[in-house]
Amino acid sequence: MTSEQTTQIRNLFPLLNQKVNGNDCIYFDNAATTQKPIAVIDAIKAYYQTSNANVHRAAHTLASAATTEFENSRKAVQTFINAKHAHEIIWTSGTTEAINLVAQSWGSSQLVAGDEVIVSHAEHHANIVPWQQLEQQLGIQVKVIELLDTGVLDLSSFERLITDRTRLVAVSHISNVIGKCNPIEHIIQRAKQVGAKVLIDAAQSIAHYPLDVQQLDCDFLVFSAHKMYGPTGVGCLFGKSELLELMPPYKTGGEMIKKVSFNSGTTFNVLPHKFETGTPNIAGIISFRAAISFIQAQKEASGYEASLTAYAYQQLLSIPSLNMLTNGQPDIAIFSFNIAGEHQQDVATYLDSKGVAVRVGHHCAMPLMEYLGVQGCIRISLALYNTKAEVDHVVELLRNFLNQGVKKVAKASVNHSKEKIMTLFESAKSWDAKHRQIMLLGKTLPTMADELKTDETLINGCESAAWIHITIDRESKVNIVAFSQAKIIKGLLVIVLAAVNGKTVENVSTFDFHEYFNDLGLLQHLSPSRGNGLLAIVEKIKRAVNKPL
């Protein structure tokens, strides 16, 4: 695509034109959810403004119009993935519910003790926990495919695991952390040889690659609308007709029944309605069709995405201390890495202060983090509307963080008071300035003895590991020692301790932390997880002095 075409695409996404923390918005968290084009937003508005009615249930004109649009979206998905029948498309709330539907309906009815389900180390929690639940409930065995150093599924490991007792192979087409295409064609073919069914999690691949379920011959395919420029709260389960017919309902209630009687019992509706109980996300499902149309209209998208992926990979590798989680360039623009000597939370918070949205943590893939031997990572993920200029800017910011940022600032005094903290933040007007001040304060937090870092002192609810040891002396004064590896959390700990350390139990019990944080201008800028972590610190202190938060 030309730069003019890229600009035209960006103009279709209203959110990208806003300022974040006083900077141009750079949205690099597309693996979590993509932004929505104006066509999707308009379709949602149009439904509520012109045809808001429940579907399938009434004979009036508005209901008929809503039902037609609703079912047209089902047909659009059928065409998009080349399903044989429209009734093979089941609406769900997302990929997670779609997998749970298969596990609780097909799995609970078709699996018995001793049967085997194969997953991989690279799966999202949503494709692990449902099968673990069946392992406990039914006595099946969950087996796990190893990975190559590239992060791709190791076919030799798969061959060692698959047996005549294998009943299902459930793997992702592309991991939400690694960004590499797995050899699903081979996996499907091999599974068929032992009579096993195959579920493909296409949540990360569906927006980037055309998928033909008839050609793949997979038994189930699951994905979410919100990762392909569509609305949240909408997902799809494709299942072969013969399997869906065998499966009992996943939920019960309205719409999924044909007849309910206390005398003659209940009979269930036909496909797809058997699995679609209650009032669905009608506006979301109708607007999903606009997202599919958007993807189909981007004929040059694959070439542009491939070019952007290669460029971003090389630019990130130019940072010497940056270490990718796995070897080799990803197939789609998902880059997961850590930076030597830097805590992931500090990097993400710095970027956020500059208007850049990235994701850090375990990304709902804790077994993968454990397998790779890391606590978490930074993830940058791009979409059609992202540009090489944005990549350059973020790489420059990362270099600034490493070379000119908090590491070269002289260490400040450790003697802080509430009044001093308030004074420091009065002059910090922007979030960028406040963030820098927090990082400076973090450098003043003394280290904590390792023997004090216990499960008892660990702060539950803080997204980075942090500990707080609280004692009360004979004069009823509260004394606190705290620590975290993340500089941003260390800075927040300094702010909290400045307000209460050395104060009496009564003073700590009655201190208004919410007012304090609001006066400093913290909570409105911190991410929900970091804000919750800050409140978790306060809660632990309040509990120690026997007062509720």
**3-state secondary structure labels for all residues of 162-212:** CCCCEEEEEEECECCCCCCECCHHHHHHHHHHCCCEEEEECCCCCCCCCCC
- Quick check: 227 pLDDT over 60? yes
Residue 481: pLDDT over 70: yes
- Indicate the fold that domain 410-544 takes in CATH: Sufe protein. Chain: A (3.90.1010)
Tell me the C-alpha distance between 440 and 416, whole Å.
Answer: 12
Split at pLDDT 50, 70, 90, the class of 528 is low
Global pTM? 0.84
Q: Which residues are within 8 A (CB) of 98 and not within 5 positions of it... i.e. 6 or more apart?
A: 90, 92, 222, 223, 235, 236, 237
- Neighbour-count burial of 334, counting CB atoms closer than 10 A to its CB (0-12 exposed, 13-18 middle, 19+ buried): buried
- The secondary structure element, H or E, covering residue 500 is helix 487-500
Determine the Cα–Cα distance for residues 73 and 285; give it in Å rounded to an integer: 7
Q: Which residues contact 432 (CB under 8 A, 6 or more apart)?
A: 21, 22, 23, 353, 354
State pLDDT tens for residues 256-315.
Answer: 888 888 988 888 888 999 999 999 999 999 999 999 999 999 977 789 999 999 999 999
pLDDT exceeds 90 at position 533: no
Question: Among 342, 354, 357, which Cα is nearest to 464's?
Answer: 342
Contact 31, 204 (CB under 8 A): yes
Query: Buried b vs exposed e over 509-522: b needs ≥16 C-beta within 10 Å?
Result: bebebeebbeebeb
CATH of domain 40-295: 3.40.640.10
User: For position 412, what pLDDT does the model report?
Assistant: 39
> 309 with 333: CB under 8 angstroms?
yes
pLDDT digits (tens, 9 = 90+) for 154-177: 999 999 999 999 999 999 999 999
Could you tell me the pLDDT band of residue 464, with boundaries at 50, 70 and 90? confident
Closest CA to 162 of 190, 131, 121: 190
The confidence score (pLDDT) of residue 308 equals 96
> How large is the average pLDDT for residues 375-397?
96
pLDDT at 410: 37
Alpha carbon distance 245, 239 (integer Å): 10
Cα 534 from Cα 549, distance rounded (Å):
12
Active site residues: 364
Distance between CA 56 and CA 279 in Å, rounded? 10
The tokens describing 233, both together, are 């709260």
Q: What is the mean predicted confidence (pLDDT) over 238-247?
A: 97
Q: Which two tokens stand for residue 173?
A: 């087409």
Is the pLDDT at 216 greater than 90? The verdict is yes
- Which secondary structure element, helix H or strand E, spans residue 356, and what is its range? strand 356-357
For the residues 516-531, what does the mean pLDDT come to? 78
pLDDT the model gives residue 465: 84
Fold of 3-30+300-404: Aspartate Aminotransferase, domain 1 (3.90.1150)
Sign of CA dihedral 254, 257, 259, 263: negative
Helix or strand holding residue 323 (H, E): strand 322-324
Q: Which amino acid is at 14?
A: P
Neighbouring CB atoms inside 10 A of 457's CB total: 17
- Give which of 6, 11, 31 is closest to 358, Cα–Cα: 31
161: Cα separation from own chain's centroid: 29
State how far the Cα of 329 lies from the Cα of 200, in Å rounded to an integer: 22
Give 400-452 pLDDT, tens digit per residue: 999 865 444 334 344 678 888 888 888 887 888 888 888 888 888 888 888 88
Instruction: Give the pLDDT of residue 404.
Output: 61
188 touches 216 (CB < 8 A): yes
pLDDT of residue 407: 44
Comparing C-alpha atoms, which of 266, 196, 187, 274 is closest to residue 237? 274
Same fold, 3-30+300-404 and 410-544: no
48-to-139, 270, 283, 289, 374 alpha-carbon distances in Å: 47, 28, 7, 16, 46
The band of 9, judged by pLDDT with boundaries at 50, 70 and 90, is very high
Residue 138, SS3? helix
Distance CA 142, CA 120 (A): 10
Cross-strand bridge partners of residue 239: 220
The ranges assigned to domains in the chain are 3-30+300-404, 40-295, 410-544
- How many CB atoms are closer than 10 A to CB 71? 16
R_g over Cα of the chain: 26
148-152-156-161 Cα dihedral, nearest 10 degrees: 110
> Which of 70-84, 93-107, 115-129, 490-504 shows the lowest per-residue confidence on average (mean pLDDT)?
490-504
Find out whether the peptide bond into 249 is cis, omega within 30 degrees of 0: no
